[in-house]
């Protein structure tokens, strides 16, 4: 009977059979373990039959115009969702219902116009949100609320005129270090709200290529950012412009034309509580550590006080302590760091003349000279060295049984040349790397993160911060 079927039908039947045994990979997608790639397929609707173990779903470069509520609720392990370069004009209510494992969401290059109040509700694990190159004009106040794991949000190349800075507070988004609002249509910002943002958010707030109106409140914010050496102003000095009286043709570079702002009092702003600047330092045990206390205060008569993790108060000491010293310029020195010196050190500067205060925090982590996780690697390496030396000794130093004794000069001194050793060792060294990489690749998430890091290396600060956690 089967021989009567036309060949096409047979193929279709075969496909169906294969499909039902596999049962999980939509025919137009490429499936590998937990990754589903359905990019560039001209899709107008989500594919059906997505396997519930999917961790990465790539739907970019399609023609999706709408996604229904709960579309991803059958994917409890979905970690990365790429929807870039589609035709989405809105994210309706409940689209991400039950998709709370999402950590990376790419909605860039779509046609989104409004980011509504609760459109991303429930994504409390979301770390990275890409919304650049859409048509977003309005970001509603509660849009970011509840997204408490956010680290990086990219809103550039949209048409945003107002942004709800007030919704980002000290404890609402503790990990947020990048808020890119560049290339939008911002004119006047609520600068008081901007100044009230947590220091780590201010540090990663990008505002270049907007249409900011020149005003003193704006200038003082940029001035303080420059004083603290934030990359957002240092790297975009020329692009950080403002318009005099909002006139499009009267653009000036904010920090290059300080004469225009000569009548602005930036000092007055300093007297408001200055946001804390935190930095992280990792040192090895026994190293000398110097923590400087540079804050926004620039006066000559500053007094400094450090509070150690044990709540000890340290001020300038003329004596020479072997554990910790504070120098007249405010620098704290730990001559030889110990593991139990780990913790957050807070420096408080005070300008007595102008009654100004500023604070700086440094998170110091002292690690033992040889971390445990590396010990197996070193042991392996050591084992190889020992066996190599034994082999070399066996080859060249064993009592002769042949005529080689006649050439005592042939004992190959060059074999002990470090250069030669290095080339002999290189396979061993690369093995050492494999030892470290393999467990990571076996682990689903680890492997995924490696993939993300290579793919997105063009975005700033990608791997170094998120990779540490
Ligand atoms: C969401 O998940 C919960 C529990 O896992 C389940 O009871 C509920 O039906 C799901 N909702 C949807 C819309 O799938
Ligand atoms: C500045 O923003 C406009 C749109 O607002 C965009 O077309 C342009 O490419 C941006 N320029 C740069 C240098 O980013
Ligand atoms: C600053 O103030 C001085 C004197 O009050 C005035 O002459 C000058 O035009 C002002 N500069 C600007 C840029 O407004
Ligand atoms: C501190 O003491 C050490 C030895 O006790 C000495 O070498 C060093 O020069 C002293 N430093 C200062 C600044 O007095
Ligand atoms: C402060 O002084 C100490 C000792 O004189 C010096 O080592 C350190 O580099 C100085 N720090 C700064 C920020 O100038
Ligand atoms: C820190 O460790 C050192 C020895 O490494 C010890 O002498 C010292 O008492 C410890 N300090 C604290 C506060 O535990
Ligand atoms: C500045 O510090 C002093 C003493 O450390 C404190 O009494 C004062 O309230 C602080 N002022 C501000 C504005 O934080
Ligand atoms: C300090 O840094 C360590 C490791 O870099 C981190 O685990 C810890 O949470 C940090 N502490 C604070 C208060 O930021």
Tens-digit pLDDT profile for residues 197-208: 988 899 999 999
Distance (Å) from CA 98 to ligand 1 centroid: 6
Is-above-0.85 flag for pTM? no
CA neighbor of 290 nearest in space, from 320, 313, 324, 319: 324
Distance (Å) from CA 143 to ligand 2 centroid: 25
Q: Token match 């139990």: residue?
A: 340
Q: Which fold has domain 25-270?
A: 3.80.10
Checking if the pLDDT of 232 tops 50, the result is: yes
Q: Atom 6 (ligand 5): residue with closest C-alpha?
A: 331
User: What mean pLDDT value characterizes the chain?
Assistant: 75
* CA pair distance 226, 296, nearest whole angstrom: 9
Q: What is the CATH number of domain 276-367?
A: 2.60.40.10
Distance (Å) from CA 149 to ligand 6 centroid: 35
Distance (Å) from CA 291 to ligand 5 centroid: 9
* CA pair distance 342, 345, nearest whole angstrom: 9
Q: Atom 14 (ligand 7): residue with closest C-alpha?
A: 357
Q: Atom 10 (ligand 3): residue with closest C-alpha?
A: 263
- Indicate which ligand has the atom closest to the C-alpha of 76: 1
Ligand 8 in contact with 344 (CB < 6 A)?
yes
Checking if the pLDDT of 193 tops 60, the result is: yes
Ligand 8 in contact with 457 (CB < 6 A)?
no
Checking if the pLDDT of 13 tops 50, the result is: no
- Indicate which ligand has the atom closest to the C-alpha of 214: 3
What angle, 0 to 180 degrees and rounded to 10, lies between the N-to-C axes of helices 372-397 and 418-442?
140
Q: What pLDDT score was predicted for residue 133?
A: 97
Ligand 8 in contact with 363 (CB < 6 A)?
yes
Give the ligand 1 atom nearest the CA of 76.
Answer: 5
Ligand 3 in contact with 260 (CB < 6 A)?
yes
Q: What pLDDT score was predicted for residue 61?
A: 96
* CA pair distance 212, 237, nearest whole angstrom: 14
* CA pair distance 192, 214, nearest whole angstrom: 15
Q: Atom 4 (ligand 3): residue with closest C-alpha?
A: 263
* CA pair distance 190, 77, nearest whole angstrom: 39
Q: Atom 11 (ligand 1): residue with closest C-alpha?
A: 98
H runs (alpha helix) in 3-106: 7-22
CA neighbor of 207 nearest in space, from 249, 160, 166, 167: 160
List the domain boundaries for the chain: 25-270, 276-367, 427-468
Q: Which residues pair with 357 in a beta bridge?
A: 350
Checking if the pLDDT of 18 tops 70, the result is: no
């Amino acid at each position: 009977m089967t021989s009567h079927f036309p060949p096409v039908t047979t193929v279709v039947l075969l496909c169906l059979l294969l499909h039902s045994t596999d049962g999980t990979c939509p025919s137009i997608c490429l499936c590998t373990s937990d990754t589903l790639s359905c990019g560039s397929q001209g899709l107008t609707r989500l594919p059906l039959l997505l396997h519930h173990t999917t961790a990465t779903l790539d739907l970019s470069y399609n023609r999706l115009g709408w996604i229904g509520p709960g579309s991803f609720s059958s994917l409890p392990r979905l970690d990365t969702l790429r929807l870039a370069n589609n035709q989405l004009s809105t994210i309706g209510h409940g689209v991400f219902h039950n998709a709370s494992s999402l950590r990376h969401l790419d909605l860039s290059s779509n046609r989104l116009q409004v980011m509504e109040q609760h459109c991303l509700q429930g994504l409390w694990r979301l770390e990275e949100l890409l919304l650049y190159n859409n048509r977003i004009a309005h970001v509603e106040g509660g849009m970011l609320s509840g997204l408490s794991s956010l680290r990086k949000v990219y809103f550039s190349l949209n048409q945003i005129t107002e942004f709800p800075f007030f919704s980002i507070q000290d404890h609402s988004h503790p990990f947020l270090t990048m808020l890119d609002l560049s290339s939008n249509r911002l004119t006047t910002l609520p600068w008081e709200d901007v100044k009230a943002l947590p220091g780590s958010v201010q540090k990663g707030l990008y505002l270049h290529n907007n249409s900011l109106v020149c005003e003193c409140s704006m200038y003082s914010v940029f001035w303080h950012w420059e004083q603290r050496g934030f990359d957002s102003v240092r790297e975009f000095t020329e692009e950080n412009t403002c318009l005099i009286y909002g006139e499009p043709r009267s653009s000036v570079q904010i920090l290059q034309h300080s004469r225009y702002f000569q009548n602005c009092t930036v000092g007055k702003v300093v007297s408001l509580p200055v946001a804390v600047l935190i930095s992280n330092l990792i040192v090895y045990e026994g190293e000398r550590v110097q923590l400087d206390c540079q804050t926004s205060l620039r006066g000559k008569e500053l007094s400094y006080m450090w509070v150690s993790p044990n709540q000890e108060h340290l001020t300038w000491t003329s004596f020479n302590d072997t554990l910790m010293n504070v120098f007249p310029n405010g620098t704290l020195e730990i001559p030889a760091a110990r593991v139990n010196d780990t913790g957050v050190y807070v420096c408080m500067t005070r300008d007595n003349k102008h009654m100004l205060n500023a604070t700086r925090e440094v998170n110091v982590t002292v690690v033992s000279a040889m971390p445990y996780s590396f010990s197996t690697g070193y042991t392996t390496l050591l084992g190889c060295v020992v066996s190599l030396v034994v082999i070399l000794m066996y080859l060249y130093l064993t009592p002769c049984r042949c005529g080689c004794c006649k050439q005592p000069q042939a004992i190959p001194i060059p074999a002990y040349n470090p250069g030669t050793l290095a080339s002999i060792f290189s396979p061993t060294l690369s093995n050492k790397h494999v030892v470290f990489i393999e467990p990571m690749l076996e682990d689903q998430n680890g492997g995924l993160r490696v993939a993300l890091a290579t793919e997105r290396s063009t975005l700033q600060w990608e791997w170094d911060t998120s990779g540490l956690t």
